[in-house]
Structure 1
Amino acid sequence: MLSIMQQDHLTVKSELKLLNQVQQWFEQFCLQHLSKRGWSENQLYRLNLALAEGFTNAVRHAHQSLPPDTTIDIDVSLWIDRLEIRIWDHGKPFNPDAIAEPEPGTLQVGGYGWFLLRRLADQVVYERSADDRNCLLIVKYGLQGQ
């Protein structure tokens, strides 16, 4: 069984203005641990974009009726073959499979973020945890896992 090589955790309030702080924290992690392992700038850009989409979705949708001081927890775990980002929110759960995929050339209100996430990452899972939080898991396989 593979073990975690590096990990980090960040807790922030549910405020869009904190997106910069979240992305800078993630970029620092990438500079320290991913760049020297051969991850490309393009992979890191895609992961940062996926993180931004997941965080803003938690703020805008999951926490929309909750106080701004409701926290969002973010975990980053680097394994030998992949990077995992977990974004934990306290909102009501939803079923992402119930979102209709936008047809090319048509307009649709909402739902684009979920499809963007699935195109940026190798695996995206959204589930309710035993502690009544939701977890968005974003997985990207590295050089060894491709």
Structure 2
Amino acid sequence: MQQGHLTVKSDLRLLNQVQQWFEKFCLEYLAQLGWSESQLYRLNLALAEGFTNAVRHAHRSLPPETTIDIEVTLWFDRIEMRIWDYGSPFNPDEISEPQPGTLQIGGYGWFLLRRLGDRVVYERNADSRNCLLIVKYFLGESN
């Protein structure tokens, strides 16, 4: 098991820093375990979506100095990513998935996260923060 932690301000300009930290932290370890580059890319995309959702939605009315905590835990059979924000809680299950051939405002990020992760949970914690948990299990290249 390996664990990494990053704290950044609520600023979309820091997305590249977040993604570079993730790649540096994960790349060698996941490659040793047999994860492919395409799997790493999808995980990085999920992290980017979670981070940008926290900045754009959860922290929309909060000062840019408000921090976002990111924790990544690598296990031999899975990766767990946690993104904590200080926004108002909401229930993502109330967001309807876009129907093929139709347009809707919002909801595409949650649709994407559900497709990229094997388990996606967003819940309010006792410390008045929300935690987005994204879990991806290693099942070989088809993943």
TM bucket by the smaller chain?
over 0.9
State TM-score, norm by structure 1.
0.94
Q: Give the match for residue 46 of structure 1.
A: 42
Q: List 4+ stretches of structure 1 deviating above 3 A.
A: none
CA-to-partner distance for each residue in 1:13-64, whole Å, 9 max, x for gaps? 0000000000000000122311111101111010000000000000000000
Q: Give the match for residue 111 of structure 2.
A: 115
Q: Give the match for residue 139 of structure 1.
A: 135
8 A Cα contact 1:62 1:89, kept in partner: yes
Q: Secondary structure of 2:120's match?
A: strand
Q: Give the match for residue 94 of structure 1.
A: 90
Equivalent pairs, count? 141
Structure 1 unmatched ranges of 5 or more: none
Cα distance in 2 for partners of 1:111, 1:83 equals: 24
Structure 2 unmatched ranges of 5 or more: none
Cα distance in 2 for partners of 1:143, 1:34 equals: 13
Does residue 125 of structure 1 match 2:121? yes
Cα shift at 1:81: 1.2
Q: Which amino acid aligns with 2:106?
A: G
CA-to-partner distance for each residue in 1:101-143, whole Å, 9 max, x for gaps? 1110000001100010000111100000110000000000014
Does residue 26 of structure 1 match 2:49? no
Q: Give the match for residue 66 of structure 1.
A: 62
RMSD: 1.1
Cα distance in 1 for partners of 2:98, 2:87 equals: 25
Q: Percent same amino acid at aligned positions?
A: 79
Cα distance in 1 for partners of 2:20, 2:47 equals: 11
